Structure formats: structure tokens, C-alpha cells
Amino acid sequence: MKYLALISLFLFYAFFQYQEKQTSAVGGLTDSVNVKVSVDDSSKIIAKQPVKVFSSYSIKVSLDVQKKLLKASQTIKWKNPSVIPTSELYFHLYPNAFSNRGTEFLGGRRISDNSLSHISINSVTVNHQTKKLNYSTYKTDNRFDSTVAKIVLDKPATQNDSLEIAFEYEVKIPKAYSRFGYDANEIFFFLAQWFPKLGVYENGKWVCEPFHPFTEFYADFSNYSLEITIPNGFVLASSGEVTGKKVEAKNTTYKVVQKNIHDFAWLAAKDVLDFTDTIKRKDHSEVAVHYILQTTNEGSRERICNAVHNAFSFFEKNIGRYPYKTLTVIDAPTKAGMIRAMEYPALFTFSKDYFSPEFTKDLDEVILHEFSHQYFYGLLANNETTEAWLDEGFAEYVSQKILQKKYGQRFASFKLFGYLPVTGMELLAIERIPFIYTLTQIPKPFEADLMAAYYSYATFGTLSDTSFRLLNKRVYQSVSYAKGALFLFTLEKYLGEQKLLFVLRQYFNQYKFKHPTANDFFTVLRKYSHQDVEWLITGFYEKSYTCDYKILEIDVSHERHQVEVTIVRDGEAAVPLEIDLYTNKDTIKTFWNGKEKIKRITFTTSNKVIAAEIDPERKNLFDLNFANNSYTVNTRYSGAMYISVRWFFWLQNLLMIFGGLS
């Protein structure tokens, strides 16, 4: 019975796929009209906004690679930006997320003892007065979590009051399990979220979330000045610009600065490829790109640099100017925990799989995605703990756009034995070992993976949900990455590519170096789209609505030359759609607001009717089943039968193999 059910399911799928292919070949629409606005024009619309920085960090830190220890002294100068006084200061102590297995981040997960970490605060002062640091269960009742701490002030700090907070502390560096630590060979030390960092004081309240299991971070823009001491023989890479260094017998101390960033990450490593490339802008200014690559990946050097150049040129042409003089790109070892594929201001990491041929575009894609975070999170510093889609969804959308424009058609692929990429499509597998597959090159839409991830958890959360409260990491990725990107791809298909890029450019110009929210983006979108987008915001941002539009039947009346197409809308979302009627001589188009549950649309034609189709350009990427969007008057079975015969052949061979094993 199981085999019969499987066969029936595949035949059903094959039939509708073939039917859709036949009708889609009949006709289609031209591209949407594009609104062409140059970068120069857009800069005139939004005036340059002055950057306001209310804090600065001055840190002296030394790395002991033998003891796996950081020793640091740190001074924060902070000025209250709000008209509302505050009697407290809140700080992130992210290394404490690994202090025990009961923290919010670990949530009981078992990790080895050498992957545990903590930050030990030896002293803290405010305006040179010794203060007590109190651990806080801010927004959590987890008594095992100490990733948030607060200081109670002697008197409230009013607007523009200046405070100087000084820390002396040590950080135990763990073996890399998550975002920071050292690799197994103890020659790669990556330090991220390693220092006491102020929360964000806005609207009279402190926003200082604990280290949640799958969401990321939120901090104010600040000016950073560091003195970093590392052993000789190690190279330094960081979020900043090296302005000087002092070499001694055993150690080298680097002076590093960076203005207007909201975090600072750095690396000390040896036995790596260390080189700098230069990106030249049209105005002849330059950005120095500092690369740290694994020696085993030297053969991919040109490919990696090209991906960075492609991302940089796309953003500067279509979104806005990269403001820093430096960018650091780090190739993390594959065994270095979750250090790989992470983003920080003026720095990002990636990791190259053992097998990553160019046809997969996997390496290029991760570099494009992480670079995109230099804008969506790095410069448009949204709160990633509550509105993660504003960085992950936007970065996913733009990275796919760059892939499409710079790298050409993608093809379906799978990994043989879980490791070796093969062009083709996997049909069935056991324990990640494919045993039914096709090696045919099958074109793969750029939105395909996003749609698959969205379909899995379509009703599990909305884009407007607080990100860290989503059910689990899989739901978080489905909502923040996939649904967020599909929201923008759907916008593009309705507005046109150039108009959406224009909207993103205005959004960037208005909110760079700020903390934009979804409402800020929607304000810009409504102003510049010049089109109704409320159905998309309501149905797929505010609500987790779904939709599946399908053609139920076509009734042809030859006497009155009328054709009635019956459409059914399943789900709550109402999406405006185009309906096409294909005849032997032409294509008749009409538009429908998509609101009725059952809609009968009448066409008048004396030509022979072949088929009808909903949304022929596939603008509505939230439709859960494209296979039922089309309907042919005279059903064609030949294609489905051809596929079915091939399926029976593979299934028969599979059963014979299993029979032989028994």
C-alpha cells in the first residue's frame, strides 16, 4: 500500500507539472515598466543626515594563546541621548552565554567543557567611583543566564550628561562552538561579542536582550579605539583600520580605530594566507579589503575576490556608498564551530566546503549574503532580536539578485553521500545517500530554495512576530530568511525591479547609521512605490495568511462565444492577479483583485480555447501550489505517461534491489 500511495502521488504531481508546462509555453507577459532613477537623482531627494554618536569605546586587550585567555581594560564614554533621565546602565556580557549549559543560548544543550566560557569582571567604575555590577534577568526568568548586567547610578543621568565607565576583565576563550573561540589546532582565535557592551537607550528605556538561542544583536553606533596585543607569528584582522604597531620580543601591539560602527570583532591567526586587495570607486577613492584565507583554499582566491567585488559594485550602484576605508573577509576553518558565515561591521566570515565546484555557486552565495549584511544590519542597524527579517530577509533578497545578474542560470544539484555535489535532482534518499536521481541539468529558479523553506512553516509565524519568540531555529529561518526575502521578491514582481531598488536606495539614504524598524521601511515603500501594497503588508507581514489560487473548470459556450473560467481561492490572503485565456490565435488578459472565494470570470472569443492560467508570470510567490494555476480544455496525457514510465522503471529496479538484499 505504501508503494501504491507513493506511485499515485508521483503520478498526480507529474500530471500537473506537465500540464502547467504546456500552458505556460503558450503565452506570457512582458516585463513590468521600470522607473529609472539614477543614483545622482536619488541623492537629491534625501538630504544627507548627520551621524550622531553618543558613545565611544577605548580598549586595551591582550591575547594569551597558551592560557586561552583575554585580559582587557576598557573605558566607555557615554552621553545620554534621550530627554528622559536614566538611573541605570545596562550591559551585554555575551561570553556568559557559554558559562553553563542552562543559559538562554545553550538551553540545556550538551557541549564539551573546553567549549564553556565566561567573562570575569575584576572591577568597574563610573566617573572613577567604584560600582557594583548586578546580573539581571532582563526579559528572562532564567536564573542560570548572566548575559545581561546593570549598574545603578548614584543620581540619574539627564540628557547629554556624560558618564565614563571603566572595566577591568578577563575572558576565557572557548574551543569554538558558536560565534567565537579557537579552532582545534589552536592557531585561529576569533573574538566576537567578547567585551562588555552597552545596551541601547531609546524612548526612555534600555533595550538589552540576553543572548537568545538563534537571534542576533542590537547596539548603538560608537567610535572604537583599541590596542590589541597578540603573539608574534600571528596576524591580526579586525573591524578596524590599523594605524600603528609596536613590535616587542614576544608580542606585537596594534593600534586599531574605526568610527561609527556598532560592534567590533577581530582575529588572531597563523599559517593562513594574508593579503590585501583594493577596490577602486569611480571617484578614484579606494577601499582596502583585507583577506585571511585558509592555505588549502588558495586555488579559490580569485573566485572569492570576485564575489566580494561583485557584491561591492552592486551595492554602490544600486543601494548606497560603503562608508568605511577597510573591509575584512575571513575564511574560517570548517571545524571552527559557527564562526563561519557570520557578519560584523566592516568584517564578515565564510567557510569553503571541501567540495565546492563553481557550478553549485554555494561559496559565492554565502559571500554575497554576508557582504549584504554590511548594509542590512551593518549600516541599517535594525534590532535583530525582534525584527530579524529586516537584515536576514533583505540580505537574502539582494544576494540572490547579485547571483542572478552576475552568475547566470542556476541548476538543481544534490550532494552524493552528503558531501560531493552533483548537478541533477535527487528524488529519494536514505540516510543522506541518494538512490534515485537524475543527472539532467534542471534550471533552478533563484527563489526555489526560499519557497521550499517557506512552505515548510508557512503558518508558524509572521514577519511582525518578535523574532526571538518564534518557535525554534527552523521556524526562525523560514520566517526571517525565506519569508522575508519572498516578501521583497513579490514586491519586485509587482513594482518592477528598478522601482524596488529605488525604494531600497531611499530607505538606505534616510536610515543609514540609525535603527530603522519595519514601519520605517513601509513608510518609505508607501511614499515611493506609487502602488497599493497594503494587501502584501496585511497578508504576509502582519498575518501569516496563506493562499492557493486554482482554476476549477473552464466552461465554453460556442453559441454565445463566451468562456467562463471558475477560480477558487483557498486560504485567507487576497492577492491581485492576472488571468490569461489562451486561444489558438491570441491571449486574452484580465485582472482580478483576488478577493472572492469563488470567482467566475467571463471572456468573449470566437477562437478555439486551449487553456487558462492564473498569475502567468508567477508574481505571487506565496501561492502554495503553482501546479493548479493552469487548466487545459483538452487534457494531454503524453507527457505525464512518459514521466510515469520512467518512474516505474526506477521503482522496479529499486524493489528488485531490496528484494535481493532480503
Q: Which of 542, 569, 592 is the last residue of a domain?
A: 542
Note whether 553 and 479 are same-domain residues.
no
- pLDDT > 50? residue 7: no
Greater model confidence, 469 or 635:
469
Give the H or E element holding residue 306.
helix 301-318
Q: Looking at per-residue confidence, does 647 or 554 come out higher?
A: 554
User: Of 526, 542, 558, at which residue does a domain stop?
Assistant: 542
Q: Is residue 189 part of a domain?
A: no
Let me know whether 349 and 432 are in one domain. Answer: no
Output the pLDDT for position 624.
Answer: 95
**Domain contains 332:** yes
586 in the same domain as 479: no
Q: What is the pLDDT of residues 30-65, one digit of tens each?
A: 333 333 333 333 333 333 445 689 999 999 999 999
Residue 168 inside a domain? The answer is no
In a domain, 537, yes or no: yes
Question: What is the model's pLDDT at position 424?
Answer: 82
Using the CB atoms, write b or e for 522-542: b if 16+ within 10 Å: bebbeebbeeebebbbebbbe
Consecutive H or E run containing 611: strand 609-614
* Claim to verify: residue 531 and residue 616 sit in the same structural domain: no
Q: Which three cell numbers stand for residue 606?
A: 470566437
- Which region among 40-44, 226-230, 469-473 has the lowest average model confidence (pLDDT)? 40-44
Residue 530 and residue 412 share a domain = yes
pLDDT for 4: 39
Of residues 636, 575, 592, 591, the one with CA closest to residue 26: 636
* 21 domain residue, yes or no: yes
CA distance 161 to 468: 33
Mean pLDDT of 312-316: 97
Asked if 149 contacts 138 with a C-beta cutoff of 8 angstroms, the reply is no
Q: Over 90: is that where the pLDDT of 413 sits?
A: no
Q: Which of 509, 542, 575 is the last residue of a domain?
A: 542
Q: How many CB atoms within 10 Å of residue 57?
A: 21
Q: Are residues 530 and 415 both part of a single domain?
A: yes
Query: What is the maximum alpha-carbon separation in the chain?
Result: 99
Cell numbers 516585463: residue: 31
Q: Which of 371, 320, 377, 314 is nearest to 503 (CA)?
A: 320
Q: Which of 19-23, 364-368, 414-418, 607-611 has the lowest mean pLDDT?
A: 19-23
**Residue with the larger pLDDT of the pair 60 and 560:** 60
The CATH code of the domain that includes 621 is: 2.60.40.1840
Establish if 348 belongs to a structural domain.
yes
- Residue 16 pLDDT: 37
- The span from the CA of 2 to the CA of 253, in Å, is 67
Q: How far apart are CA 98 and CA 119, in angstroms?
A: 10
pLDDT value at residue 23: 37
Whole-number mean pLDDT of the chain? 88
User: Residue holding cell 506511485?
Assistant: 7
List, for residues 84-117, the tens digit of each pLDDT value. Answer: 999 999 999 999 999 999 999 999 998 999 999 9
> pLDDT tens for residues 18-37?
343 333 333 332 333 333 33
pLDDT, tens digit (0-9, with 9 covering 90-100), for 109-166: 989 999 999 999 999 999 999 999 999 877 788 999 999 999 999 999 999 999 999 9
Instruction: Please give the distance of CA 203 from its chain centroid, rounded to a whole number.
Output: 28
pLDDT band at residue 652 using 50, 70 and 90 as cut-offs: low
CA dist 290 and 76 (Å) reads 28
3-state secondary structure of 20: helix
What is the total count of domains within the chain? 3
Per residue in 366-405, pLDDT (tens digit) is 999 999 999 999 999 999 999 999 999 999 999 999 999 9
CA distance 578 to 555: 19
| pLDDT recorded at residue 118 | 96
Q: pLDDT confidence of 562, banded at 50, 70, 90? A: very high
Tell me what pLDDT residue 279 has.
96
Determine, yes or no, domain membership for 212: no
Return the percentage of the chain with pLDDT > 90, whole number.
Answer: 75
Choose the weakest-confidence range: 275-279, 423-427, 610-614.
423-427
Q: Which residues have C-beta within 8 Å of that of residue 50, sequence separation ≥ 6?
A: none
- Give tens-digit pLDDT for 324-353: 999 999 999 988 888 989 999 999 999 988
Q: The domain that contains 416 carries what CATH number?
A: 1.10.390
Cell of 607: 477562437
- 380: in domain: no
The domain in which residue 561 lies consists of: 2-30+546-635
Q: Are residues 427 and 361 in the same domain?
A: no
Are 557 and 532 within one domain?
Answer: no
Exposed / middle / buried, residue 37 (Cβ in 10 Å: 0-12, 13-18, 19+): middle
Beta strands in 80-191 (DSSP E): 86-92, 119-126, 129-130, 134-135, 148-157, 162-172, 181-182, 188-191
Across the range 599-606, mean pLDDT stands at: 95
More confident residue, 66 or 30: 66
**pTM for the whole structure:** 0.88
> Would you give the distance in Å from CA 141 to the centre of its chain?
29
Residue at grid coordinates 501550489: 625
Strand partners, 272: 294
Q: Are residues 412 and 478 in the same domain?
A: yes
In this prediction, residue 283 has a pLDDT band, given cuts at 50, 70 and 90, of: confident
Residue 175 pairs in a beta bridge with 182
